[in-house]
Chains A and B, each alone.
Chain A
Amino acid sequence: MSLDREDIEKLCLLARLNIATEEMADVQAKLSDIVKLVDQLQAVETDGVTPMAHPLDHGQRLRSDEVTEIDEHAHIQLNAPHVKRGHYLVPKVIE
């Protein structure tokens, strides 16, 4: 199964990441090779096999519904590129 340029562009949009025009052909070739590698799995007989969600077959641990976190947003927002009154600022998104 080979991927064409349109496939890659669609994946780029879904993953929200740019591939530069000059890198496109290389990405297309390498991704196609990877898909060829994983296509080997298609031939494996897996009827009745449960897909593995957790390597030790554990379920999700639950805890009691109590507030345990403290408000540290000022400390955590020290890394933010652009913050105003506790809100993260981004370029305008509404026309």
Chain B
Amino acid sequence: MHDKTIKQLSDDLLAKRISATELTEHYLRRIEHFDSDLNAFVSVTRNEALKQAKAADERLAAGDVSPLTGIPVAHKDIFCTQGVKTSCGSKMLDNFISPYDATVIQRLREAGAIMLGKTNMDEFAMGSSSETSFYGTTHNPWDFNLVPGGSSGGSAVAVAARLASGATGTDTGGSIRQPAALTGITGFKPTYGRVSRYGMVAFASSLDQAGTLTQTAEDSAIMLQAMAGFDERDSTALPDPVPDFVGNLYTPWHAITIGVPKNFLDDGLDDASATAVRDALRVFESLGATIKDVDLEHIHLSVPVYYVVAPAEASSNLSRFDGVRFGYRAENTGDLTDFYMRTRGEGFGPEVKRRILTGTYVLSAGYYDAYYLQAQKVRQLISDDFAHAFDKVDMLVGPTTPTPAFGIGQKMDEPIQMYLNDIYTIGANLAGLPALSVPCGFSDGLPVGLQLIGPHLGEAALFKTAHYFQRETNWHKQIPAGYA
């Protein structure tokens, strides 16, 4: 059952070949069997999942169905889930039971999807390896000693190890696409504003976006169809109507022009990954696409821009965690300043503290112009480069990450080395562009990801192109040994 896609499972559920309860019990058994080692889940909502499964079976019997009715999914622990612990992988929220549902959670629930549990992540979404969580490291099912990537590592592993049929994630600098690449699955980040951020704990408000981790682009389109669209509770949500992402997949693919940023196929890219990307481009050529080189002139500045803008916004967003109204509160504190300093000093992990301090520095008097304002100007230049590229090509294609999965503990002492994992993914966040990663090969037995980036609101074309790629290739069907 667990090797089937959401689409296949939905067909089985509608044809009554399986029930939602059977399917949910199956995944819960797998989680119980595998997750004490993998550590993909922070909370498993067993009773609630079985209750939702029963309700889904009633809906299926009554013919009240949607493509997600009865489909068990996992949610990154950054989404508020009413009555259920929402930790963001942090000691700061270890005791936090959310009083409300995020819009993403509500919409997927209303579509009939079943919540299996909340997945592990880098603390407050700050990381590229899922090693900074208060709940410990999540392991890569392709090699237990390697990281799965981050920050949506738990969600990626849940899908890669087939502990859930799909999962939600968030992507601020690559946190969906990078773990998808390192675990051999499909990860999708929509256009900024396409999916509501209401109830999604904020890291960097101008970069954060909710998205999906699934086996296929088709499944991603099915999930995004339910998640996307205007929400009056998010003032940055786009009013544009949501097209039929799923229906569009099955229409003929018209040959497009693909741009390959030559800046990405450089010395920083692992040889086997470069070969896999080049082979993938040949698949697109065989389908009739034209391949062109493009030059994103300022893209090499995306990491420094990000490490000014994201920490600055994080330092503001995380100021709400002060021990007064909810979350961790230090004991036996002195005056109010000591109360705040000890609560936050004890509640946050080292990477989060580093980023808050960095953000505080670049926003402080005397440094704001030189750092924050300058970074926002360079951000505009990077965004303009993408816009110029999309004047000449329909889509950009390249690698998702510079290397496959790396060793647990290998980069923890070198923040800059860790940050460079996101070198190809960050640009799409800075420019607010939709982007996805699909598996395209292996490097010494480890998955390699192919990244596709589209113009604003270009989700439909991205899904369709990735879907056609997955019709021609089998990389997305590979399951790590021991999990089949």
Q: Which residues of A contact B (CB under 8 A)?
A: 3, 7-8, 11-20, 23, 27, 30-31, 33-35, 37-42, 44, 46, 49-56, 58, 60-61, 63, 72, 75-82, 88, 90-91, 93
Contact = CB atoms under 8 A, between A and B. Distances in A.
Given A27-B353, A31-B354, A12 B374 contact: no
B383 A17 contact: no
Interface stretch (B18-26, B252-260, B323-331, B459-467): B323-331
Contacts of A88: 324-325
A-B pairs with lowest CB-CB distance, top 3: A55-B432, A18-B345, A51-B376
B446 interface: no
5 contacts: A17-B356, A37-B303, A46-B374, A55-B206, A93-B335
Given A34-B358, A46-B381, A55-B431, A90 B339 contact: yes
A46 B372 CA distance: 13
A37 B361 contact: no
Contacts of B97: 78-79
Given A51-B373, A55-B430, A79 B236 contact: no
Given A37-B307, A79-B326, A80-B325, A63 B232 contact: yes
A16 B335 CA distance: 12
A40 B304 contact: yes
B289 interface: no
A78 B83 CA distance: 11
B158 to A, nearest CB: 26
A84 B458 CA distance: 51
Given A55-B430, A76-B99, A44 B344 contact: no
Give the interface centre of A7, A33, A61, A72 by most chain B CB atoms within 10 Å.
A61
A30 B354 contact: yes
Interface in B343-370: 344-346, 348, 350, 353-354, 356-358, 360-362, 364, 370
Contacts of B432: 54-56
B371 interface: yes
Given A19-B345, A91-B333, A78 B376 contact: no
B354 A46 contact: no
User: Size band of the B side of the interface?
Assistant: 35 or more
Interface of B: 95-97, 99, 191-193, 206-207, 232, 235-236, 238, 298, 301, 303-305, 307-308, 315, 319, 322-327, 329, 333-337, 339-342, 344-346, 348, 350, 353-354, 356-358, 360-362, 364, 370-371, 373-381, 383, 415-416, 419, 430-432, 456
B326 to A, nearest CB: 4
A63 B231 CA distance: 13
B377 A34 contact: no
Contacts of A55: 192, 206-207, 383, 430-432
Contacts of B99: 72, 75-76, 78-79
A81 B358 CA distance: 29
A80 to B, nearest CB: 6
Contacts of A93: 335-336
A87 to B, nearest CB: 11
Given A34-B416, A55-B383, A17 B344 contact: yes
B326 A80 contact: yes
A12 to B, nearest CB: 7
Contacts of A20: 345
B361 A11 contact: yes
Contacts of B327: 79
B375 A15 contact: no
Contacts of B207: 55
A72 B348 CA distance: 29
Contacts of A72: 99
B354 A27 contact: yes
B371 A41 contact: yes
A40 B375 CA distance: 10
Contacts of B378: 41, 44, 46, 49
Nearest to B433: A55
Contacts of B416: 33-34, 37
B70 to A, nearest CB: 30
Nearest to A72: B99
Nearest to B384: A49
Given A17-B341, A33-B416, 13 more contacts: A7-B361, A15-B315, A17-B348, A27-B350, A27-B354, A34-B307, A34-B415, A38-B371, A44-B381, A53-B376, A55-B431, A81-B323, A90-B339
A51 B375 CA distance: 8
A54 B236 contact: yes
A44 B456 CA distance: 26
Contacts of A54: 206, 236, 432
A55 B384 CA distance: 11
Give the interface centre of A19, A52, A60, A80 by most chain B CB atoms within 10 Å.
A52
Contacts of A60: 235
A91 B336 contact: yes
B322 A56 contact: no
Given A27-B353, A79-B327, A56 B192 contact: yes
